[in-house]
Structure 1
Amino acid sequence: MNTAPVLQITGLSGGYSLNKPVLHDIGLQVQPGEMVGLIGLNGAGKSTTMKHILGLMSPHKGEITVQGKTRSSDPEGYHSALTFVPESPLLYEEMTVREHVEFTARAYGVERSDYESRTGQLAALFNMEDKMDTLSSHLSKGMKQKVMIMCAFVARPALYVIDEPFLGLDPLGIRSLLDFMLDLKKSGASILLSSHILSTIENYCDRFIVLHRGKVIAQGTLAEMTEAAGLRGLNLEQLFYELVQGGK
């Protein structure tokens, strides 16, 4: 069994300006079949970390590997091993839902039979069956978010990077998404999930990474973090408050 991390970040510092880095010596990893919650206040560095993983920003120093590959050594292998769900949906207005999903499947080299079965499953799961031939410009924000999720999940890469996916989703959509991520995890996929809804992700993520002011201030299971902080018995939301506001 392969126990090497799917995502490995070592000594990552970076940001929008060389003189004012947002991230400071970030170190984290995501193992095969693991869902990890990346949590922090607004401006803590969550989205900046994800942009570095995606290759939208270049590190000032440090290294990021996905399945042992770096963007510089094997850009195609690196990017084909991950997919991304952004916080705000970004779609082509004159393309239908079906065209978006098929376009993504083609980009990832998904076989036609797999594309068709997965598309049918995802459309049913997110109640989008009657919207598949609708232009994205005619969709609500929540439906647009569902299209982004469907595009990400029609592929089967090793790593899913998901940024605040619950915004705009209805309660049924949130539950469907969480249950589907659990199924992906059981199949061996790895998920790095950023969310402010701590009460929702507490029971779904295997481990958590707490970012504060661009630094990792805690990481591990909820039990491990509460033990390390001397705050046994707290739920994730209570622990997070104590870590970022209580000075622990």
Structure 2
Amino acid sequence: MELLKVNINKAGYYRNNDVINNVTLSVKAGELVGLIGPNGAGKSTTLKAIMGLVPVFNGCIEFARNAKKYSYIPEQPVIYEGLTLWEHLELAAAVYAMDQREFLLKAEDLLKLFHLTEFKHHLPTTFSKGMQQKTMLILGFLIGPLVYVVDESFVGLDPMGIKDFLLLLEIARSHGAGVLLSTHMLDTAEKICNSFLLMNEGTVVARGNLEEIRELCGLSQGSLFDCFLKLLERHS
């Protein structure tokens, strides 16, 4: 079942200066779609367009009826000054009208998983980049959505943080969630993603699972990294 369907004709930040064009994709239940491409390819703009965060947009974004709750985990943490970590969690729970008992159980479990329990009454503005990123992950997983839109959330995480993040993604997918993940970590993406979209210069230039990408590149045993370079050479 498709949880998210995206058809972006054009999107950007200024009129007559589109960053992305003709971007189509879908995310199914239990699927992890990897969005890859060089810097400036339009990956983050695509994710922001899906979330309605770009001023110039022409296209259609459709979430399934049962996917009304979705999480967007941005590359740069969004932290409210003056709110403690726990107050951030309480705010998210209030916005989504979470049951208080469910909130307390999930919040404490996530804080424990990411080793932030002792910091829950501290201000995230004083945290390291990695701790701020973990804060965003906790907020993203707290509400238990069916769709996760994730932008480079490996940045700043230590190896254990990455391991815990991937574990949560796997659990969410096993419960029917779908994930759209933008990342530069191609070795990790190759291991965890069901399919890939390669963007370059603002549009999708290749898509498919690893075998299909290999066939497209003519690299029967190539790694995702090898295929990535081959496709970029072809479209440069």
Q: Give the TM-score normalised by the residue count of structure 2.
A: 0.94
Q: CA deviation at 1:57?
A: 2.0
Question: Quick one: percent identity of the two aligned structures?
Answer: 37
- The answer to whether the Cα contact below 8 Å between 2:113 and 2:164 also exists between their aligned partners in 1 is yes
Q: Tell me if structure 1 keeps the 8 A contact 2:217–2:230.
A: no
2:43 pairs with one of 31, 46, 56: 46
Q: 210-219 or 54-63: which moved more?
A: 54-63
* 2:15 aligned to which of 14, 18, 33: 18
Structure 1 gap ranges (5+): 69-76
The alpha-carbon deviation at position 16 of structure 1 amounts to 2.1
In structure 1, the partner of 2:115 is: 127
Q: Distance in 1 between matches of 2:92 and 2:200?
A: 34
Return the alpha-carbon distance in structure 2 between the equivalents of residues 33 and 158 of structure 1: 9
SS of the counterpart of 1:185?
helix
SS state at 1:133 partner: coil
5 Å matches for 1:75-86?
Answer: 80-86=68-74
CA 1:185/1:229 → structure 2, altered by over 3 Å: closer, same or farther?
same
Q: Is 1:30 the equivalent of 2:18? A: no
Deviations, residues 117-171 of structure 1 (Å, cap 9, x unaligned): 1112111111111111112232111111111110111011221111010111111
2:166 is the counterpart of 1:209: no
When residues 29 and 58 of structure 1 are mapped into structure 2, their CA distance, relative to the original with a 3 A threshold, is farther
Aligned mates of 1:59, 1:138 — CA distance in 2 = 34
Question: Which of 169, 173, 185 is matched with 1:181 structurally?
Answer: 169
User: Is the contact between residue 67 and residue 81 of structure 1 (CA under 8 Å) also seen in structure 2?
Assistant: no
1:62 — aligned with what?
59
Return the alpha-carbon distance in structure 2 between the equivalents of residues 202 and 151 of structure 1: 26
Give, in angstroms, the shift of residue 179 of structure 1: 1.1
Q: What are the residue-to-residue correspondences of 1:64-213 with 2, within 5 Å?
A: 64-67=61-64, 80-213=68-201
2:206 is matched with which residue?
218
Worse-matched range after superposition: 133-142 or 54-63? 54-63
Q: How many pairs were matched up?
A: 236
Superposition TM-score, scaled by structure 1 size: 0.90
Return the alpha-carbon distance in structure 2 between the equivalents of residues 60 and 129 of structure 1.
40
3-state DSSP of counterpart to 1:157 = coil
Contact 2:13 2:55 in 1 (8 A): no
Deviating above 3 A after TM superposition, structure 1's stretches of 4 or more consecutive aligned residues are none
Give secondary structure in 1 for the equivalent of 2:60: strand
Q: For the residues of structure 2 that align with 1:167 and 1:60, how far apart are their CA atoms?
A: 28
Give the CA deviation at 1:94. 1.6
Which residue type is aligned with residue 214 of structure 1? G
CA contact (8 A) 2:37 2:200 kept: yes
Structure 2 residue 232 is matched with structure 1 residue 244: yes
